């Protein structure tokens, strides 16, 4: 990216000067910052902006202001998934989008390990038994030796896979195309054979981005091909799942359970069946949000801003058509 002609102007979208992102002062040494938390404020501020730091990506904010964004060259997303940020005019433009890839990897991997242990050790039943003052001894499952299939072999999927290996699990992955394995994944299958692949696994973890091509990949045929004892864990995006098919599989106990951190509609409506399905753990899209993640995201933005000012290549450039940071595959 070539050097901007002057000190750049950056709009922090979805934040206010009264409640700024923590550590954003470090960016003010390199750029003129303004804050815009509403559509009218953004439309006004974006006219002068070289860059936007999308602290929050409300679907409607940026498209409304877009006709005014004539100087804009770069958008940094504060999240890893950019599905709520991208829209057709942005995709077709020369504006570069970067994301927060890499920040959430260990937090999510630890969370997935926690979920697998909760299932294997029956921890929800343990807590319930304590509440009932019930002394009921029983054996628990081992994770060691179990089979973990991770759909999405990006940095989050890889870290989940690495953690699974450290626990003694057999680990395979699913990417866009089948390819040979590596130090984390014994093998990597392509999504075209997903239904044929999931039957191998005791735990199926979805760590996929929301893109047009991952939409509804987990359908009735995939859930129907899972083992009756297998658990499905989704920390990627809700749109990758046909939720009705998952609800049926859980209700009829055709799979062993599910732990869901992401949903097609968020917040999950209070009348959603997921809240009360058997063997189901629901969490409010929080698996990546470790204490300190806000500061970490701002540090990444400041690093990229320094690169932007110096005309150097930016970190985490999203392939806007694919909807994620595409790495060359072997
Ligand atoms: N729950 C949370 O709190 C939270 C927090 C952060 C992120 N996330 C989600 O986690 C996702 C994964 O993040 P990440 O940084 O690890 O990686 P990413 O860059 O978003 O995704 C890359 C991986 O997805 C695979 N992929 C993309 N399209 C595919 C398709 N059509 N079929 C099969 N695989 C496909 C890629 O396959 P190839 O290797 O073949 O290219 C690659 O392995 C994010 O996109 C976000 O949605 C959730």
pLDDT tens sequence across 132-149: 999 999 999 999 999 999
Which amino acid residue places its CA nearest to atom 18 of ligand 1? 154
Q: From the CA of 79, give the closest atom in ligand 1.
A: 6
In angstroms, what is the span from residue 50 Cα to ligand 1's centroid?
28
Q: What are phi and psi of 128, to 5 degrees?
A: -65, -40
Choose which residue among 154, 213, 214 to substitute to test ligand 1 binding: the one with the highest number of ligand atoms within 8 A of its C-beta: 154
Give the residue-averaged pLDDT of 73-91.
97
**Cα 100 from Cα 300, distance rounded (Å):** 7
Given a cut of 90, whether residue 2 has pLDDT beyond it is no
Give the residue-averaged pLDDT of 290-311.
98
At 234, which helix (H) or strand (E)? strand 231-234
Q: What pLDDT does residue 1 have?
A: 59
Contact predicate 62/54, CB 8 Å: yes
- The confidence band for 60, taking pLDDT boundaries of 50, 70 and 90, is confident
Choose which residue among 77, 104, 171, 175 to substitute to test ligand 1 binding: the one with the highest number of ligand atoms within 8 A of its C-beta: 175
**Cα 98 from Cα 76, distance rounded (Å):** 5
In angstroms, the Cα distances linking 134 to 120, 128, 239 are 20, 9, 40
Q: What is the pTM of this model?
A: 0.97
In angstroms, what is the span from residue 206 Cα to ligand 1's centroid?
9
Q: What pLDDT does residue 117 have?
A: 98
pLDDT tens sequence across 233-245: 999 999 999 999 9
Helix, strand or coil, per DSSP, at residue 157: helix
Strand 179-180 relative to strand 187-190, pairing: antiparallel
Given a cut of 70, whether residue 3 has pLDDT beyond it is no
């Amino acid at each position: 990216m070539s050097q901007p002609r002057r000190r750049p102007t950056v709009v922090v979208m979805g934040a206010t000067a009264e409640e700024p992102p923590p550590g954003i002062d470090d960016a003010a040494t390199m750029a003129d910052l303004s804050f815009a938390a509403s559509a009218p404020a953004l439309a006004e501020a974006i006219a002068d902006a070289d860059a936007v730091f999308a602290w929050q990506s409300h679907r409607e904010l940026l498209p409304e202001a877009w006709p005014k964004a004539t100087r804009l060259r770069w958008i940094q997303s504060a999240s890893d998934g950019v599905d709520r940020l991208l829209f057709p005019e942005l995709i077709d433009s020369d504006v570069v989008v970067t994301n927060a890839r890499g920040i959430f990897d260990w937090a999510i991997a630890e969370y997935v390990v926690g979920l697998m242990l909760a299932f294997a050790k029956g921890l929800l039943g343990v807590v319930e038994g304590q509440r009932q003052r019930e002394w009921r001894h029983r054996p628990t499952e081992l994770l060691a030796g179990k089979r973990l299939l991770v759909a999405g072999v990006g940095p989050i999927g890889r870290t989940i896979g690495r953690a699974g290996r450290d626990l003694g699990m057999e680990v395979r992955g699913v990417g866009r195309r089948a390819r040979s394995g590596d130090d984390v994944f014994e093998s990597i299958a392509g999504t075209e054979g997903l239904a044929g692949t999931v039957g191998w696994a005791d735990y199926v973890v979805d760590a996929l981005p929301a893109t047009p091509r991952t939409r509804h990949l987990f359908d009735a045929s995939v859930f129907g091909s899972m083992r009756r004892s297998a658990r499905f864990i989704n920390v990627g995006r809700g749109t990758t799942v046909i939720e009705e098919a998952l609800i049926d599989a859980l209700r009829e106990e055709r799979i062993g359970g599910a732990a869901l951190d992401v949903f097609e509609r968020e917040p999950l409506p209070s009348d959603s069946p997921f809240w009360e399905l058997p063997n189901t753990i629901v969490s409010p899209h929080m698996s990546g949000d470790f204490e300190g993640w806000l500061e970490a995201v701002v540090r990444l933005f400041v690093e990229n801003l320094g690169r932007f000012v110096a005309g150097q290549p930016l970190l985490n450039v999203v392939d806007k058509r694919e909807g994620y940071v595409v790495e060359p595959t072997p």
